[in-house]
Chains A and B, each alone.
Chain A
Amino acid sequence: MLVNAIGRAVPALLALLLGAALSLPASAAPARNAKAAPGDCAACHKAEKVLPAGHPATKGMKLDACAQCHAPKSEQALGGKLPGMHLHQLRGIGCAQCHGDLKKPTEVAHDKCMSCHDTAKLVEKTANVKPKNPHTSPHYGKDADCNLCHHQHAKSENYCNQCHKFEFKVP
């Protein structure tokens, strides 16, 4: 399953990450370095340009510092621009809080997400999202798997749009 999670996110990294999910890779591919500070992009991304030219240095920053310029709910909000893992890490939620044992990380189940998130509150929070509340549907109720839309290691997606045309911005 490692194959897919990573394969879908960054296919080229497959072989590399299979062997060394947590250690620093030799190439320019991003490492899943559990010890790196989340604002220190280069610690994992190496020379890869992940920020626009001229972007202020982010090393040492956490999400609230980013939010000075990337205000939540605004056009600049970071949701959807970074894989979910970054958004959690920038909030101080590290690999271990989702994966537990980091020696052999496995897929994280829906229930794990629910240990921090609350369905009822979530549904209420997004009740006015247009055109529909993404957190409830006639088909799947309030219990749809978070990972249908929010991906932690890949770009998030809009699951409903297989059949609908809902213009969501999925963080």
Chain B
Amino acid sequence: MTNPKQTTDLLSRRRFLQTAGVAAGATVGALALPRAADAAAAPMPKKWDVTTDVLVVGTGFAGLAAAIEARDAKADVIVIDKMPVPGGNSAINGGDFGAAGTQMQKALGIEDSPELMLKDMMKAGAYLNHPELARTVAEQSAAALEWSQTYVGAQFDRVNFHGGHSVKRAHQTVQRSGAGLVTKQLEKARALGAKIELRTKLVRLVADKDGRIVGAEVRRGYKFPDEASGTPAFIKARKAVVLASGGFSNDVKLRQMYDPRLTDQFTSTNQPGATGEAIMAACMAGAMDLQMDWIQLGPWTSPDEKGFGYVPQFVERVVGYGLMVDPATGKRFFKESGNRKERADAIILLGHPALILADSTNTTKMVDPGQLKGALDNGSLRKFDTIEELAKAYNMPVDVFVEQVKRWNTYVEQKKDPELDCLIFKDAVPNVTPPFYAARLWPRVHHTMGGLAINKDAQVIGFDLKPIVGLYAAGEATGGVHGAVRLGSCAMADCVVFGRIAGKNAAKQAAWG
């Protein structure tokens, strides 16, 4: 190498590794660079098929928030998604939006603040969160919720609790689904003139010789998961590309690179297209990835139904009211209000599904009737007239279990759990009123905390630790906001907050051509 310093500045670590051999062998040094870069990002095409200001990849919360903001800033916007349906994981999400210090909380007398939310996020994240990113989400969460309500038109009507939070701060859509927000975002983006193209897959990013991202190579008419389907096309992004391609929970190969335990033995709650090739495409164009091995399992899924299912909406609502036991012993084994990682690890350690239960008073007060019915109808939730019957149905030692329930009920009365320090809510009542509801629990791969490195302006960071010009990212495709563990409801806040930032900044980027 004639000038190694310059070489590493220009090349990403990956490009460097890929091409170092060739360059060293031929001793052509810097002269070989443009070609070397070509190997990783797509070459500049002779002709662009389409031109826009901002190209957004992904039609979830993050991508559509970016599209709306970029349109509001008068940029031309194209949004692509490889799937035949829009919305990604956002369209099947539970609709819980974590936000601190909102009007809805105030009306319910819930005292909260961005500082407290940040504290909860950092604690759950094992302090691996990039503080500046987590703080941005916490501080802008209330404004993001308000924007979703008043500008986008989504409706939220209750404030839920999620494990690991200090207070109730999960604002839920009336639909009890993320679709309640993302379908409104889609309408808004379309009304503002953003072009939405489904079945268009990002294959590679296109960089110019300086590494600035200038567009993308895509396949149009793509039919997931057939990699040969569709026809190649080049989209020119005059200002910037925003990557909002979601996580990779359903990418068995990729997730096993980071956590080899997560074989295909573990199913996922995610949509089938939750795969990581867009993140990898960014890495190949020089972006840095981080914390990719923090992959979250949801502790509240049932082995008795598919995918996400109904049971999580029962579990998360009765935590702090009902109790969770190991059916082998009939005893509690872990703090019900613990965070996802703690609970999932504890259940996996049991080696068999856990059991959660609550009585009729607590259940009907807390659980949405539609969700309750769905779970009962598909058999993943069962009801029993007596505690003894319930014990027998799951082959538990009856006496031990009955004693355990009694003990729990005294804790509920005292609002304090001396055994495992579970958070118990003020309005919780002892579980004595039949029917008693119970569900089995076995974790599924749910969220990938890691992803592309970004700064607080949503610029993607390269291996030289500097922003890559023309590339922004937001949502589950990024890493750092949540650290080791994402708290329930914090993804919606993350996606909307950073999606908006990415969209605004992408629109502000000076055009290159």
A binding-site residues for B, Cβ under 8 Å: 1, 3-4, 8, 107, 131, 138-141, 144-145, 147-148, 161-165
Contacts and interface: CB of A to CB of B under 8 A. Distances in A.
Secondary structure call for the A interface: loop
Interface stretch (B38-46, B162-170, B301-309): B301-309
Contacts of B223: 4
A3 B377 CA distance: 42
Contact of A140 (B87, B231, B378): B87
Contacts of B179: 138-140
Contact of A4 (B86, B229, B307): B229
A140 B306 contact: no
A3 B221 contact: no
Contact of B305 (A4, A148, A162, A165): A165
Q: Which 6 A-B pairs have the closest CB atoms?
A: A163-B307, A139-B91, A138-B179, A138-B177, A139-B179, A4-B229
Which of A144, A162, A164 is packed against the most chain B CB atoms within 10 Å?
Answer: A164
B290 interface: no
Contact of B85 (A8, A107, A145): A145
B153 interface: no
Interface of B: 84-87, 91-92, 175, 177, 179-180, 183, 221, 223, 226, 228-231, 271-272, 305-308, 377-378
Contacts of B180: 138
A138 B175 contact: yes
Given A139-B179, A162-B272, A165-B378, A1 B221 contact: yes
Nearest to A161: B306
Contacts of A162: 271-272, 307
Contacts of A165: 305-306, 378
Contact of A131 (B85, B307, B377): B377
A139 B378 contact: no
Nearest to B173: A138
A148 B177 contact: no
B228 to A, nearest CB: 7
Which of A141, A148, A161 is packed against the most chain B CB atoms within 10 Å?
Answer: A141
A140 B86 CA distance: 7
Given A131-B377, A139-B92, A147-B84, 19 more contacts: A1-B221, A1-B231, A3-B228, A3-B229, A4-B223, A4-B229, A138-B175, A138-B180, A139-B85, A139-B91, A139-B179, A139-B183, A140-B85, A140-B86, A140-B91, A145-B84, A145-B85, A164-B307, A165-B378
Contacts of A8: 226
A148 B224 CA distance: 11
Contacts of B183: 139, 141
A105 to B, nearest CB: 14
A144 B175 CA distance: 18
22 contacts: A1-B230, A1-B231, A3-B229, A4-B228, A4-B229, A139-B85, A139-B87, A139-B91, A139-B92, A139-B183, A140-B86, A140-B91, A140-B179, A141-B183, A144-B85, A161-B306, A162-B272, A163-B271, A163-B307, A164-B306, A164-B307, A165-B378
A136 B481 CA distance: 35
Contacts of A144: 85
Nearest to B199: A145
Nearest to B92: A139
A4 B177 contact: no
A139 B272 contact: no
A78 to B, nearest CB: 26
Contacts of B91: 139-140
A81 B308 CA distance: 31
Contact of A1 (B85, B229, B271, B378): B229
A135 to B, nearest CB: 14
Contacts of A163: 92, 271, 306-308
A162 B306 CA distance: 8
B196 to A, nearest CB: 12
Nearest to B93: A139
B201 to A, nearest CB: 14
A119 to B, nearest CB: 15
B85 A148 contact: yes
A17 B461 CA distance: 49
A146 to B, nearest CB: 11
A8 to B, nearest CB: 8
A107 B231 CA distance: 13
Contacts of B378: 165
A90 B228 CA distance: 33
A104 to B, nearest CB: 14
A107 B378 CA distance: 37
Nearest to B176: A138
A164 B308 CA distance: 9
A8 B180 CA distance: 34
Nearest to B186: A141
Contacts of A4: 223, 226, 228-229
A21 B314 CA distance: 53
Nearest to A162: B272
